[in-house]
Amino acid sequence: MKPKMGRPTDNPKNNNTRIRMSDEDVKMLEYCVEHTGKSKSDIIRAGIKEVYNKLKGE
């Protein structure tokens, strides 16, 4: 049997991370999702990139 294939990508997301969030954190994330149309994952990745760039001095 052939394994199920998704869309091909140049940047596969093979890693999972679980986090615990307060109710307030969840509300802020949902607000961002509703107002940007992006996924929760995209919002979280953008936050990680923002902090990383600040630390690297960009």
Q: Is residue 18 part of a domain?
A: no
C-alpha 8/C-alpha 32 separation (Å) is 27
Side chain identity at residue 43, one-letter code: I
Whether residue 3 has pLDDT greater than 80: no
C-alpha 30/C-alpha 6 separation (Å) is 26
Q: Is residue 42 part of a domain?
A: yes
pLDDT digits (tens, 9 = 90+) for 9-44: 888 889 999 999 999 999 999 999 999 999 999 999
> 10 is written with which tokens?
């140049």
Q: Name the domain count of the chain.
A: 1
Q: Is residue 9 part of a domain?
A: no
Q: Is residue 5 part of a domain?
A: no
C-alpha 22/C-alpha 26 separation (Å) is 6
Q: Is residue 12 part of a domain?
A: no
In the prediction, which pLDDT does 16 show?
94
Q: Is residue 2 part of a domain?
A: no
Q: Is residue 49 part of a domain?
A: yes
DSSP-derived letter for residue 10 is S
Dihedral sign from CA coordinates of 57, 50, 6, 19 = positive
Domain span at residue 43 reads 23-56
In the prediction, which pLDDT does 42 show?
97
